[in-house]
Amino acid sequence: MNNLLALMGRWHTWRGRKPIRVHVKGFRDDEGPVPVRPTGCLLTGGIDSLFTVFRHKDEIGTIINVVHSAGSEDTAITAKPDPSLQTFSKHQGMELVTIETNMLSAYPEETDALASMAHGAGYAAAGHFLEQSVGKLLISSSFTYDQLRPWGSHPDTDRLLSSASLTVDHIGAETNRFEKLRLLSTDPHFTQHLSICEHGPQPGDHQNCSECQKCLRTMIGLDLLGISPEDAPTFDWSDYRPEKLKTFLLPGHVNCSEMLEEAQRLNRSDIVDVLTDVIDYSQKYHWIVRIELFLRKRLAAAGRHKAFLKRVRHFIYNLLNIKFRTLETRSELHDK
């Protein structure tokens, strides 16, 4: 109960959400020690969660993959396992459990708050769903300690999602994403299963679209680390060109700044030029990115007017004489 109250207090500080009053008549007093159960790790195939598996592979016994669906059924272990994660978990000697959930669609009014406040709680719920077989749950960080901001998974809140039978730990906040990728690059069994696409797993020969900003950022990172296409087969390298990243106006540029230092060290002038351009553009127009993100959160219900709103957006960009670029605004959830 104390954890729940502390968690709501933190969310109130972040977002102004009023804590819910909870009345409990009594607590169940279980007798006997809690049995030792394996550690579970949430895994999407993203850099953050693969890093957690890499660092804690001697401890982890169960890999948990949460699949989001639009259905109305209760959470259930019914989703078809991801073949890539199935192969990966088997190689690591770990059990793969796939959980299908409708938490993205069950409460439409909360969807926009999922990244900024609620996804850690959603993932913890998956761990509690498996508490008979998992005793500890590892949730991978999205940011380093010096980058922390109000977010769905956070070192101050994840631990508060624990219970007497399940410990929840926040992992990886001491290491930035490029350094995580560097570590993963030492073992091709990890880079061969990267699934980071902005649009989710893709059908066909390559799991990543290789065209969105997340794919391009990761491919540039792999390029800087000297990873061959054979060791990163989930990407389509046939038309890889770092300059494609210049077509995006990014909400932030921390990951690009991390790679820029490496590109400068390696004298990769082609990548230095691209990353410098992307970072400068991101900084110059960060104000309009913040306005768009704010409006999208407040006007989520206006999705049915998407075509009209896009025209308005183009008009405003032209009026302000801003060179239009693709604006990527989805959360970093899938980096995990």
Domain residue ranges in the chain = 2-21+35-171, 186-335
Kindly state the average pLDDT of the residues 272-281.
94
C-alpha gyration radius of the chain: 21
pLDDT in tens, 88-114: 999 999 999 999 888 777 666 556 566
The encoded tokens of residue 299 equal 């006007």
As to burial, measured by CB atoms within 10 angstroms (0-12 exposed, 13-18 middle, 19+ buried), residue 308 is: exposed
Instruction: Collect all residues with Cβ–Cβ distance below 8 Å to 58 and sequence separation of at least 6.
Output: none
pLDDT at 290 over 90: no
Residue 278 identity: V
CATH of domain 2-21+35-171: 3.40.50
The encoded tokens of residue 116 equal 């900024």
The secondary structure of the chain in percent helix, strand, coil, rounded to multiples of 5, reads 45, 10, 45
**Rounded to whole angstroms, how far apart are CA atoms 210 and 221?**
13
pLDDT at 135 over 70: yes
Residues 60 and 38 sit within 8 Å (Cβ to Cβ): yes
Instruction: Collect all residues with Cβ–Cβ distance below 8 Å to 172 and sequence separation of at least 6.
Output: 48, 51, 52, 55, 140, 141, 180
Torsion of the alpha carbons at 304, 308, 312 and 315, rounded to the nearest 10:
150
DSSP letter at 324 equals: P
As to burial, measured by CB atoms within 10 angstroms (0-12 exposed, 13-18 middle, 19+ buried), residue 41 is: buried
Determine the pLDDT at residue 334.
42
Q: How confident is the model at residue 207 (pLDDT cuts 50, 70, 90)?
A: very high
DSSP secondary structure letters along 36-47:
P--EEEE--SSH
**Rounded to whole angstroms, how far apart are CA atoms 224 and 263?**
7
Indicate the pairing of strand 167-171 with strand 95-101: unpaired
By C-alpha distance, which of 151, 158, 139 is closest to 115?
A: 151
N-to-C CA span, the chain: 29
Q: How confident is the model at residue 329 (pLDDT cuts 50, 70, 90)?
A: very low
Tell me the whole-structure pTM to 2 decimals. Answer: 0.84
Residues 29 and 89 sit within 8 Å (Cβ to Cβ): no
Helix (H) / strand (E) containing 248: strand 248-249
Determine the pLDDT at residue 325.
62
**Rounded to whole angstroms, how far apart are CA atoms 214 and 199?**
9
The encoded tokens of residue 70 equal 């639009």
CA angle (38 as vertex; 32, 41 as ends), nearest 5: 130
Give the whole-number percent of the chain exceeding pLDDT 70. 79
